[in-house]
């Protein structure tokens, strides 16, 4: 016996001894010790085994090893993974949140794991999204803001986090942007100025931050622009001058 054969024998003994799939799966090339093995403590090997043997996945949904349960949840029939919505491991619940039918996600809205709630917020039907506007994590609220129907965006217009309000400013209908025109953050006001109707844009030409004024130049009525041709910031001056010159040439 060569040294390579001896090592292979030891490896097979350690991985296959006592396995219910041995030797049938090995002989049928449905598994491979060290590469595709359900008993390994390697996510890669477990995944390869279940990818090749999806009909086996359901058997491991109650496995003691969290990673085996999580990988099994990827491949098991959807109607068998409902009970894992309350699995003690967050990785398992994350998999479930990405696979359940959207109408079954409402029970995971308050999950204690941020990534689970993020998956839920990404997939939840719009009609139920309003239930997540008060989530403790601003990334969840920002995700909700990207998907909420326009008529409900006002609920997040006074959010405590700038990044959430920026999303709201980018999605509110132009006629409703006045709600954020006085936002304390110039990044939010700049988004408002870029999308504002002429009347609101004119008020933002007096903003203390130059990049907000610059954003407002393209939407403000022409008659409000002459003072901006003497703005202390060269980019604002040039934008106002260019727009006025363009109107005169038209």
Q: What angle do CA 9, 13, 17 make, to 5 degrees?
A: 155
Report the C-alpha gap between 80 and 78 in whole angstroms. 5
DSSP line for 18-32: T-TTTTHHHHTTS-B
Q: 138-147 and 162-171 helices cross at what angle (nearest 10)?
A: 0
Torsions phi, psi for 132 (to 5 deg):
-110, 10
Report the C-alpha gap between 32 and 40 in whole angstroms. 11
For the chain, the average pLDDT equals 92
pLDDT surpassing 70 at residue 47: yes
Question: Model confidence over 71-83: pLDDT tens digits?
Answer: 999 999 999 999 9
Q: Enumerate the domain spans of the chain.
A: 21-106, 173-250
What does the chain come to in residues?
A: 250
pLDDT surpassing 70 at residue 205: yes
* Other CB atoms within 10 Å distance of the CB of residue 1: 7
Report the C-alpha gap between 100 and 224 in whole angstroms. 54
**What is the separation of C-alpha 49 from the centre of its chain, rounded to a whole number of angstroms?**
29
Please tell me whether the peptide bond between 106 and the residue prior to it is cis, using omega within 30 degrees of 0: no
Question: Model confidence over 210-229: pLDDT tens digits?
Answer: 999 999 999 999 999 999 99
| Residue 22 confidence class, pLDDT cut points 50, 70, 90 | confident
Report the C-alpha gap between 12 and 32 in whole angstroms. 9
Which of 1.20.1300.10, 1.20.120.140, 1.25.10.10, 3.30.200.20 is the CATH number of 21-106? 1.25.10.10
Report the C-alpha gap between 120 and 106 in whole angstroms. 8
Q: What is the pLDDT of residue 14?
A: 61
Contact 140, 129 (CB under 8 A): no
Q: Percent of the chain having pLDDT more than 90?
A: 82
What average pLDDT score do residues 16-23 get? 83
Question: Model confidence over 234-246: pLDDT tens digits?
Answer: 999 999 999 999 8
Report the C-alpha gap between 69 and 110 in whole angstroms. 22
Q: What angle do CA 245, 246, 250 make, to 5 degrees?
A: 120
pLDDT surpassing 70 at residue 61: yes
Report the C-alpha gap between 241 and 79 in whole angstroms. 64
Report the C-alpha gap between 73 and 96 in whole angstroms. 7
Residue for token pair 């006001």: 189
* Closest among 249, 250, 223 to 240, alpha carbons compared: 223
């Amino acid at each position: 016996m060569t040294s390579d054969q001896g090592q292979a024998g030891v490896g097979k003994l350690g991985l296959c001894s006592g396995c219910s799939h041995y030797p049938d799966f090995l002989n049928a090339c449905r598994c491979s010790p060290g590469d595709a093995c359900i008993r390994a403590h390697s996510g890669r090997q477990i995944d390869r085994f279940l990818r090749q043997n999806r009909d086996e996945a359901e058997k491991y949904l109650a496995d003691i090893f969290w990673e085996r349960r999580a990988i099994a949840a990827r491949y098991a029939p959807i109607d068998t993974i409902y009970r894992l919505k309350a699995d003690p491991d967050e990785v398992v619940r994350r998999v479930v949140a990405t696979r359940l039918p959207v109408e079954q996600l409402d029970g995971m809205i308050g999950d204690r794991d941020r990534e689970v709630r993020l998956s839920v917020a990404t997939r939840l039907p719009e009609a139920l999204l309003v239930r997540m506007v008060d989530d403790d994590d601003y990334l969840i609220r920002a995700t909700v803001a990207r998907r909420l129907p326009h008529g409900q965006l006002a609920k997040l217009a006074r959010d405590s986090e700038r990044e959430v309000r920026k999303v709201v400013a980018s999605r509110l209908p132009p006629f409703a942007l006045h709600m954020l025109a006085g936002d304390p953050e110039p990044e939010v006001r700049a988004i408002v100025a870029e999308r504002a109707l002429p009347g609101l844009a004119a008020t933002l030409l007096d903003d203390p931050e130059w990049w907000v004024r610059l954003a407002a130049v393209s939407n403000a009525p022409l008659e409000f622009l002459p003072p901006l041709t003497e703005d202390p910031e060269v980019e604002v001056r040039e934008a106002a001058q260019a727009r006025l010159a363009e109107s005169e040439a038209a």
